[in-house]
A and B are shown apart, each in its own frame.
Chain A
Amino acid sequence: MSPPPSPPQPPADPPAVPPKTPSRGRRAGSDERARVRAEALARIDARVKARAAGSNGHAREHAELTNGKAQRAAATNKAARPAAGGASAPAPGGRPKAGGRPKAAGQLKALGRPEGDRQGGEDPSLTSPVGALTATRERSDATEPKPSRTRREPGIAGGDRRLIQWSGHYASAGRIIGVTVLCFSLWTLLDANQLLHEASISSPGVRRTAAMTVLRPVAAVANLLHFSGLVNWGDSELGHTTGPGGNQNLPQPVTGIPTAQPPNHLMNGTNPLPHGWHKGISEIVPPPPTIPVIPQPTPRDRLTILDIGDSIGEDLGFGLGDIFTGDPYVNIRQEGVESTGLSDPSYYDWPGHLQQYLEKYHPGAVVIMMGANDDTDIEGATPGSPAWVKLYTPRVATLMEQCLAARARVIWVGLPPMGGGNITNAFVKQVNSIYMAQTRLHPGVTFVPSWNLLAGPHGKFTEYLKIHGAEVQIRTSDGVHLDPAGWDLLARALVQPMQQAWHVNLHVLP
């Protein structure tokens, strides 16, 4: 910390009350117009000179009020003293003292201002507030010279405290209201589809009903006028799920989702962070209502974790089962099915089966690991092509949204490198990137990669890994599946992300 710098200069403030402008629209004689114009120019000139001299009306008022108070304070032996420790005392004009009721009546009169600023009294210096609100015209550059602005370049050391600087342009409250109404109306019209989509997946209630009631017709108008095309294009380029006509096929509201409560600050010795809260500000803010909250599991109220996926997901389920066997806090339900995936729902309908498992087990969390069987055509689109990605992505999103709607958090585990079978590592990387992208779009879902954990030194497939000094087989010889040591390694690697993402202590023994 450096010694305190010199006190700041008074900021250049605009005057509290604007000068009268020459009235417009009135036909006056040329002499009269010239006189009025000259007066206005003279006032502007005086103000520019006053600013150039380093003071303006507002600062002058402050200085005079403060000097008056300083004189009174000096008279009663209460003058400002510099603080202990070497800090320089602020100049009286630079930091006005706030006092009790300002004895400003006489001083304000002396400044040519009407009396005002008494608590409980009206201030006649301003016109009617309604008139002020409805005033829409404000040409600040015609009447107001801009206050000087300190131009700060990066790299110059910052100085002492200073209030936010003016831009030099001003608007009336009425104009601001008009601009705001126009802004929000236009934005609502252009983004109606996305807003309607958000409302449709929110918790049922009055707010949702009101939002849907308002947004449905707006979205219909927006689609009719093709206003939504720009936003839909942006959404599709960014990989968002809401596309053209995004208000079609709205998911049905799911009942019974409570508003998330603020997480308990203390959870059996852990010090979890509120979801999405960086540690910069530690005060707890309740997580948004769409993210399920997992309460700290107890032996009486155990956490059920559902594991689904293809055969690799099954392997992971074995690993989770092993580490949580006998755990009084966690139930593992393994429902992985080999040879399944999202590309071919006619073979195995994962959304339908997932819904059944959700209703059967009511899990607090779902672990998903699949994709190894998804390198097949979807509706004629070859795996990995843009058309295939556009068809595959919503299927991933659907599983996530199903879990979230059932109040379950999700851990989506990425695929590891492959060393055989029909699946290529390029395809694995592509589907992993889809899972990652959808994770970002669905708060409450956490993506945990397995690639680096199960890869060899050069990031490639390996059947063996050195664990605790010994070479251990972690993958099967088919180059795809996990061996018991591998699924144990992967399952243990999930524990910390689970605990951090869900703010719970799973009491897993090392």
Chain B
Amino acid sequence: MLFPTTDFAIFFGIVFILNWLLAPFPRRWKVFIIAASYVFYAWWDWRFIFLLAISTVTTIAGGRLVHRSVSERARRFWLVATLTAELGLLAWFKYYGFVYQNVDSALHRLGLASLSAPMTVTLPVGISFFTFMGLSYVFDIYRRRLEPSPWLDVAVFVCFFPHLVAGPIVRGSDLLPQITSSSRRNPRHIDLPRAAYLIFGGLFKKVVLSSYISSAIVDTVFANPGLHSAPEVLFAVWGYAVQIYCDFSGYTDIAIGCALLLGFRFPENFNSPYTARSLQDFWRRWHMTLSFWLRDYVYIPLGGNQGSSKWTMYRNIMITMLLGGLWHGAGWTFVAWGALHGAGQCTGHWRRGRRVARGLPAQSDGRLAVAWQRFATFQYVCLGWVFFRATSFSNAFAVLGRLTSGWALPSPLVTFPVLLTILVGIGTQYVPQGVSARAQDVFGRLRPALQGITLAGILLVITTMGPPGVAPFIYFRF
């Protein structure tokens, strides 16, 4: 079930009412929300609910076994066993095809017999997200930052439908206390302005901005860059930066807003990423829950920046970013994207270190310097997006190569609406947060009838400006 569909609207309406009716009865509420989440997940393919169940049981069992083990060796054994089980599932569904293609290709190059025909392996939706959530729960128990929660609470934590498909990657320490004390949620204290801002803002980003820019220029140009002029390719790359931000942040905003309506607070996932002044800053603003997950469970266990030399830190950064790239998809272009970001971060560390060694501040803070830092960081991030979006290295290099020629050719795809969409997608990130806080404040003070009219008007604008032929509550493109 996808968020902006009629199915989800009806589903959420029912869940919202029952959620608050059952709130004073914790056990019944938890059973209900688990059932609702499984219905949500089964809407795509009912067979995958078994996968979700297996992952949940593995998480619960792994956490308890680690916690109950006395010796450090036993604790580590059960941690590794749980990791192997969870990551094994993820690896099978997500990377089977990738591994098969590469092994087959290598055998072919060596002149050996090819592998037998590949199996059909369909990738279940959201597996990367709920696997990482389960892993963080077991890790935190191992590190003694968390105590095991009742199995029902953990089951809710893993399968809670707002975060199930596309995050944010919520930690046990954030969500489990809220689940455990779920009966203390107050049905008279629901943050409607914030939830409405997130949901309708997310819809606007997803349905209007992202859908438009992808169909107006991005898909066409990336499909065959050679047929387009250099300005079209350049604006397609910037357009993709807007598309992926609006797509992803829009979706997670809707998820966070839905959770807020149910009385739960999720962590923020995006914080104006295209205003970042460095790649390090970018990763504190982009997909923050994944970024912090990689930091806490990959980078720091590898040693972080506590190693004997800077090269150890650079190695840890590269490993972390390569794994981060691979997490996004089974393809070498994703790995290349991760490598670009890793190399960029290492370079940034080196530069800052040199400046500090010379007695300068790590980063210049002058107005021009800040503007240049933001511009350069955004362009480097866009360079990475080329590989992220391209279907192959040849496609990526075709896009980049087109930027070196064809500047004089006509650019019919670069229209005023395209420019405006890119400007809005990037420019809104520079709007101070006080503006949105003020808007929520004004909305919160309205009478209910006016609130309903306001939201209807916003929804009408979204559906009118969105791609017609496909009203957002009937059709979803992500």
Interface residues of A (CB under 8 A from B): 1-4, 11, 14-18, 62, 69, 73, 78-81, 83-87, 89-90, 95-102, 116-123, 125-126, 129-130, 132-133, 135-136, 138, 140-141, 149, 151-155, 157-173, 175-187, 190-191, 194-195, 198-199, 201-202, 230-231, 234-235, 238, 240-242, 262, 264-266, 269, 271, 273, 276-286, 288, 290, 429, 432-433, 436, 439-443, 446-453, 455, 457-459, 493, 496-497, 500-501
Contact = CB atoms under 8 A, between A and B. Distances in A.
Which of B180, B229, B306, B430 gathers most chain A CB within 10 Å?
A: B180
A136 B187 CA distance: 11
Interface size class of B (residues with CB under 8 A): 35 or more
Interface of A is mostly: loop
A123 to B, nearest CB: 4
A436 B413 contact: yes
Contact of A154 (B126, B177, B429): B429
Contacts of B100: 266
Given A86-B300, A87-B296, A264 B120 contact: yes
Which of A85, A126, A240, A290 gathers most chain B CB within 10 Å?
A: A85
B404 to A, nearest CB: 15
B308 interface: no
A180 B475 CA distance: 20
Contacts of A290: 470, 475
Contacts of B180: 98-99, 102, 117
26 contacts: A16-B186, A17-B184, A78-B144, A100-B149, A129-B24, A133-B20, A151-B433, A154-B275, A171-B192, A171-B448, A172-B190, A175-B448, A178-B448, A180-B452, A183-B452, A184-B459, A187-B463, A202-B474, A234-B464, A262-B45, A280-B328, A282-B329, A283-B125, A283-B128, A440-B467, A448-B224
B375 to A, nearest CB: 12
Nearest to A95: B173
B22 to A, nearest CB: 8
Interface string B360-386: 000000000010001000000000000
B235 interface: no
A154 B191 CA distance: 24
Contacts of A167: 191, 193-194, 197, 437, 440-441, 444
B239 to A, nearest CB: 11
Given A138-B188, A170-B191, A231 B460 contact: yes
Contact of A273 (B98, B391, B413): B391
A138 B301 CA distance: 48
Which of B100, B186, B193, B265 gathers most chain A CB within 10 Å?
A: B186
Contacts of A496: 223-224
Contacts of B451: 179
B192 A151 contact: no
Interface string B442-459: 011100110111011001
Contact of B468 (A182, A240, A453): A240
Contacts of B470: 198, 288, 290, 443
B148 A123 contact: no
Nearest to A126: B24
Contact of B453 (A118, A182, A447): A182
A117 B26 contact: yes
Interface in B135-168: 143-150, 152-153, 165-166
A198 B469 CA distance: 6
Given A117-B181, A176-B190, A290-B470, A279 B13 contact: no
A16 B184 contact: yes
A285 to B, nearest CB: 6
Contacts of A278: 214, 240, 243-244, 247, 389, 478
Nearest to B261: A176
Contacts of B94: 282
B147 A99 contact: yes
Contacts of B296: 4, 83, 87
4 shortest interchain CB distances as A-B pairs: A169-B444, A182-B452, A85-B300, A98-B176
A80 B266 contact: no
A379 to B, nearest CB: 24
Contacts of A441: 467-469
A459 B408 contact: yes
A84 B187 contact: no
A230 B220 CA distance: 32
B371 to A, nearest CB: 10
Contact of A440 (B216, B300, B437): B216
A234 to B, nearest CB: 4
Contacts of A165: 194
B227 A183 contact: no
Interface stretch (B53-61, B77-85, B284-292): B284-292
